[in-house]
Amino acid sequence: MKFSLVVFAAPDGDPATLTALKFAQAVLDQGHEIYRLFFYQRGVYHGSSLAVYPQDETDINQAWQSFIAEQQLDAVVCIASAVKRGILNAEEANRYERPSANLADNFTLSGLGQWVDACVHSDRVVSFGEAQ
């Protein structure tokens, strides 16, 4: 079975983000496929390479980044949500004349068309967190 996940939850303590990660791991452990991970609204903060967590907290951004890299998953950060929240790749940083990019490796910026494509090509679509 082919799954796509959309993460609305921010990484700053919302339990839905850890639930999403554990669900994604379980999907693969059960032999299913993840077509796409889509980070939307406050969920785009997962794509930041600059977040630093206290030692007594789970570094959920690093956990997602490692999982995406290890599993070679398609991880898309909504460009409209990201840019407005200061998550930029090199192209957008240049376009908006910002001093640097901070989109983590293995994430791509793209539009909602990628989410529509994921919905069309997946057997199941699961969302985590509340749309804001």
pLDDT (tens digit per residue) in 43-82:
999 999 999 999 998 999 999 999 999 999 999 999 999 9
Confidence of residue 1 (pLDDT cuts 50, 70, 90): very high
Cα-based distances in Å from 12 to 4, 17, 51, 57: 23, 9, 10, 10
Confidence of residue 132 (pLDDT cuts 50, 70, 90): confident
Instruction: Give the phi and the psi of residue 100 in degrees, each rounded to 5.
Output: -160, 165
Neighbours of 53 (CB within 10 A): 14
pLDDT (tens digit per residue) in 82-122:
999 999 999 999 999 999 999 999 999 999 999 999 999 99
117, 2 in Cβ contact below 8 A?
Answer: no
Tokens (6 digits) for 72: 């070679």
pLDDT for position 100: 96
Domains and CATH numbers, the chain: 2-128 (3.40.1260.10)
Whole-angstrom Cα Rg for the chain: 14
Residues noted as catalytic: 78
* pTM recorded for the entire structure: 0.96
Work out the burial of residue 64: count CB atoms within 10 Å of its CB; fewer than 13 is exposed, 13-18 middle, 19 or more buried. buried
36: pLDDT strictly greater than 90: yes
User: Measuring CA to CA, which residue among 97, 37, 47 is closest to residue 71?
Assistant: 37
Chain CA centroid to CA 33, Å: 17
Residue 119 CA to residue 15 CA, distance in Å, equals 24
Confidence of residue 13 (pLDDT cuts 50, 70, 90): confident
